[in-house]
């Protein structure tokens, strides 16, 4: 995948901290910050130029010092008209500028520029506050202290009232979802969303059995959405992930208009488990392969597990 910032193709540096999960390169940091950069984090004098298509405007110094926190090295500045410095990072022989896209086609000179120091930049309180906000939001989304998948899974298992079928089902669906997501190179935040949805996708099954006497898919979707919100009340799950998980749980039996890799993979992972548990026919499996499965990994798994010519489709020799 190609990126638009300067140095993306030779920014081969490793983090000096394990504070953040899924941020092992400048490109991954760029991906993480893309949804955090906003008008508030933009320098006040440039906020009139900021928009969602030009997110890096006015973000250079706070971004460069945050990158320094993660990758080490030094921050340098290119003198701009008006006397301000545009900041970028140098780590060993690697030079990268996560916010260079704001200048469009302008060619910047990254040679022989003066070093920049956070003590000088953060003497301005508004800039320090913007840096702290950027760092805090990154921590909420990728920090080691955020709500973990393991903690979510433990709560879901203990809430299953000893129903080993439900517990084993969610464990298997989560395992397939993570496997497919990693093989399909989902970025860290989308993979996290997928994993959480996989753990909670059947959260409404106990209620549906009690209320309706069955686990009809559409009723699961309807009853599941408010249960997800109730499950996460007070747990501190990131709001955007919560909203997406609510959507995914509310659509995990809907096989039309599938939008998003997290949605697609959740459907595939659930079916891979259900095909075995419900002993689906070969005809059913081939129909799903043709109509619904879209990821290369999901298709390989479905064919390899159930349609291997040397075995019948439920794995018996």
Q: Do residues 98 and 54 both lie within one domain?
A: yes
CA distance 98 to 18: 20
Residue % of the chain over a pLDDT of 90? 86
In the structure encoding, which two tokens stand for residue 203, read together? 């959260």
Where a domain ends, among 115, 142, 169?
Answer: 142
In the structure encoding, which two tokens stand for residue 104, read together? 């469009």
Domain annotation covers residue 317: no
Q: Do residues 86 and 204 both lie within one domain?
A: no
Does residue 11 surpass a pLDDT of 90? no
| Dihedral (Cα; 284, 166, 164, 313), 10-degree rounding | 10
Domain annotation covers residue 2: no
First to last CA, the chain: 42
Strand partners, 79: 85
What pLDDT is stored for residue 99 in this prediction? Answer: 98
Q: Do residues 181 and 40 both lie within one domain?
A: no
Q: Do residues 156 and 126 both lie within one domain?
A: no
Exposed, middle or buried: residue 307 (CB in 10 Å: 0-12, 13-18, 19+)? middle
Q: Do residues 154 and 246 both lie within one domain?
A: yes
Domain annotation covers residue 314: no
CA distance 247 to 197: 9
Q: Do residues 228 and 274 both lie within one domain?
A: yes
Domain annotation covers residue 312: no
Q: What is the 3-state secondary structure (H, E, C) of 98-115?
A: CCHHHHCCCCCCCCCCCE
Domain annotation covers residue 95: yes
- Could you give the C-alpha distances from 254 to 219, 228, 288, in angstroms and in order? 12, 18, 13
pLDDT class of 189 with cuts at 50, 70, 90:
confident
Q: Please state which of the ranges 133-147, 175-189, 240-254, 281-295 shows the lowest mean pLDDT.
A: 133-147
Domain that holds residue 80: 8-142
Q: Is 95 helix (H, G, I), strand (E, B) or coil?
A: strand
CA distance 204 to 288: 24
**Which tens digit of pLDDT belongs to each residue from 264-301?**
999 999 999 999 999 999 999 999 999 999 999 999 99
Does residue 317 surpass a pLDDT of 50? no
The pTM assigned to this predicted structure is 0.65
Give mean pLDDT, residues 308-314: 58
Does residue 315 surpass a pLDDT of 70? no
In the structure encoding, which two tokens stand for residue 269, read together? 């992972």
What pLDDT is stored for residue 314 in this prediction? Answer: 54
Do residues 104 and 36 make contact, with C-beta atoms less than 8 angstroms apart? no
CATH at 213: 1.10.3210.10
What pLDDT is stored for residue 309 in this prediction? Answer: 59
Q: State the chain's mean pLDDT as an integer.
A: 94
CA distance 29 to 271: 34
Q: Do residues 119 and 155 both lie within one domain?
A: no
Give mean pLDDT, residues 232-251: 93
- Could you give the C-alpha distances from 294 to 70, 100, 266, 302, in angstroms and in order? 36, 36, 12, 11
Q: Is 313 helix (H, G, I), strand (E, B) or coil?
A: coil
Q: Please state which of the ranges 56-60, 186-190, 214-218, 254-258 shows the lowest mean pLDDT.
A: 186-190
pLDDT class of 187 with cuts at 50, 70, 90:
confident
CA distance 115 to 124: 18
| Dihedral (Cα; 119, 124, 129, 135), 10-degree rounding | -30
Q: Do residues 138 and 154 both lie within one domain?
A: no
Where a domain ends, among 142, 164, 179?
Answer: 142
Give mean pLDDT, residues 153-168: 95
Do residues 7 and 26 make contact, with C-beta atoms less than 8 angstroms apart? yes
CA distance 305 to 172: 14
């Amino acid at each position: 995948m190609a990126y638009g910032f300067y140095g993306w193709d030779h920014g081969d540096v490793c983090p000096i901290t394990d504070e953040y999960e899924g941020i092992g390169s400048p490109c991954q940091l760029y991906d993480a910050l893309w949804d955090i950069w906003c008008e508030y984090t933009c320098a006040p004098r440039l906020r009139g130029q900021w928009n969602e298509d030009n997110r890096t405007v006015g973000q250079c110094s706070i971004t460069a010092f945050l990158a320094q926190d993660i990758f080490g090295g030094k921050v340098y500045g290119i003198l701009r008209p008006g006397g301000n410095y545009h900041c970028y990072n140098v780590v060993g022989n690697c030079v990268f500028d996560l916010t260079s896209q704001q200048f469009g086609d302008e060619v910047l000179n990254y040679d022989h520029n003066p070093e920049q120091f956070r003590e000088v930049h953060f003497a301005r309180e508004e800039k320090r506050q913007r840096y702290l906000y950027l760092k805090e939001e990154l921590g909420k989304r990728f920090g080691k202290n955020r709500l973990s998948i393991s903690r979510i899974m433990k709560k879901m298992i203990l809430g299953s009232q000893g129903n080993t079928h439900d517990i084993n089902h969610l464990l298997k669906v989560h395992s397939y979802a993570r496997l497919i997501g990693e093989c399909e190179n989902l970025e860290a935040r989308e993979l996290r969303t997928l994993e959480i949805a996989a753990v909670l996708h059947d959260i409404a099954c106990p209620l549906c059995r009690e209320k309706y006497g069955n686990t009809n898919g559409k009723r699961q979707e309807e009853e599941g959405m408010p249960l997800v919100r109730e499950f996460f009340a007070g747990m501190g799950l990131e709001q955007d992930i919560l909203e997406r998980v609510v959507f995914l749980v509310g659509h995990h039996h809907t096989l039309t208009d599938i939008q998003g890799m997290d949605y697609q993979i959740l459907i595939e992972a659930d079916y891979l488990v259900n095909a075995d548990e419900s002993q689906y026919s070969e005809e059913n499996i081939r129909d799903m392969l043709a109509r619904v499965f879209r990821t290369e990994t999901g298709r390989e798994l479905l064919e390899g597990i159930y349609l291997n010519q040397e075995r019948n489709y439920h794995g018996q020799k």
